[in-house]
Amino acid sequence: MKVHAETGGRLKVKFDKITMDHGSGGKLTLELIENVFRATPGLDSAILGDIAFTTDSHSIKPLFFKGGDIGKLSVCGTINDLLCVGAKPMYLSSAFIMEEGFDLDDLEKIAQSMRDEAKNANVKIVCGDTKVVEAGKGFYINTSGIGKIIRPIDGSNICENDQIIVTGNIGEHGFSILNERENLNLASNLQSDCAQLTSLILPIIESDLDVHWMRDPTRGGIAMCLNELCYKRDFGVEIFEELVPISEEVSSISEMLGIEPYYSANEGKMVIVANPVDAPKILDILHSNPLGKNANIIGNITKDHPQKVLLNLNYGTKRLLSMPLVEKMPRIC
C-alpha cells in the first residue's frame, strides 16, 4: 500500500497487492474492475440480445448456516442476478473447488441443496466441473447462468422521481452469518434470508409495469447497491430511515456491534427502481408473495445531489450514505 498527496492536499491510497477489501463489493472492487480488468461496472448479468448471461463465485464460513448452505447460496445468487436484467432463469453450470479431506456427506448435502433450489426455480443444472486442492485450502463454488430475456432492464431509462422499492427486511444474511460464525449468540431467531426470487420477481418482469432497474443488494448491502445505482450518473438517491424495513433482531445486533444494517449483505432481497405511477402496483404484487410481505417504497431518484446517496433520518436531518471503501463486516458470501 502506498500513500501520496494529490493536488489540494488530499491523501490518496494506492494498493500494490490484492487485499480482502478488493472483494468486498465496495469502492476498491469498482477500482479493480475499472483499472485492472479495464471493464465498466454495470449490471449483474450481461444482456446478449435475447439472452442473459452471468457468473459468480461463492465462498462463505460456515459452509452450513441457519437458512441455507453454500450450495443454496450459489444457485440463489445466480438466479437472482439473471432476474435483475429482466430474464427468466433457464440453465446453470456449477464448478467446485474443494480441499483434500472434505467430507463426502457434506458434499452430498451441498449438491442436494443446489438440486432443490434449481428445481424450485424450474432451472436446470446442465454442466459442471470439480477440482481438488491441498488440505486447508477451503471449499468454493462457481456458478454461471443463462436466462431468456423477457424484457431488458438495464437502467438506461431511470428518471427523476422514480421510486425505490426494497422487497423485504434488510441485513439479515450478513448479521446472521456474523452471529453464527463468531458464536455471538446475540439474536437466536435470526437466520439468513437466502432465497431465489423467481416466484417474486418474474411476475413483475412479465407484467407491463414500468421497471427501470433492479439489483440484489448482496455484498455491501443496500448502501453499496444504491451507490452503484448512481455511480457516475447524473442523478442521486434519497431514502428515508423510517421507510426502510429492518427486523427487531437486525436492529438489536446492529446497535450492539455498531455496524449499520445498510451495509449488511442480503441474499434474498431485490432493490427495484420504477416509474412512480407503477410503484404502488409493483408493491401490491410483492405483498401477495410471502417473500415480499415486508416490501416497501423507501425513497426516490433525485437530481439534487448527483452520484450521492442521502439518508433522511427520523429526527429530521440528512446524512451521506457513502460507498464503503473497506469491508465493514467479515466476508459473508
Q: Under CATH, which number does the domain 46-149 receive?
A: 3.30.1330.10
**pLDDT score recorded for residue 183:** 83
From the first residue on, what is the mean pLDDT of each consecutive set of 10 residues in the chain (333 residues)? 53 72 70 75 91 97 96 98 98 98 98 98 98 97 98 98 98 94 80 98 98 96 96 97 96 91 97 98 98 98 98 95 74 56
Cite the residue boundaries of each domain of the chain with CATH code 3.90.650.10: 163-320
C-alpha cell at 325: 471503501
Amino acid at 90: M
Cite the residue boundaries of each domain of the chain with CATH code 3.30.1330.10: 46-149
Query: Residues 242, 315: contact at Cβ < 8 Å?
Result: no
Sign of dihedral through CA atoms 31, 36, 41, 44? negative
Strands (DSSP E) contained in 7-76 are 11-14, 46-48, 51-58, 64-65, 68-69
281/289 Cα distance (integer angstroms): 13
**pLDDT score recorded for residue 8:** 57
Q: Which residues on neighbouring strands pair with residue 95, listed in sequence order?
A: 129, 142
**pLDDT score recorded for residue 104:** 98
What is the architecture, at CATH level 2, of domain 163-320? Answer: Alpha-Beta Complex (3.90)
Chain centroid to CA 47: 19
CA distances from 288 to 86, 175, 284, 285, 292 (A): 20, 27, 6, 5, 7
The reported pTM is: 0.92
The DSSP code for 190 is -
Place of cell 450450495: 71
**pLDDT score recorded for residue 299:** 98
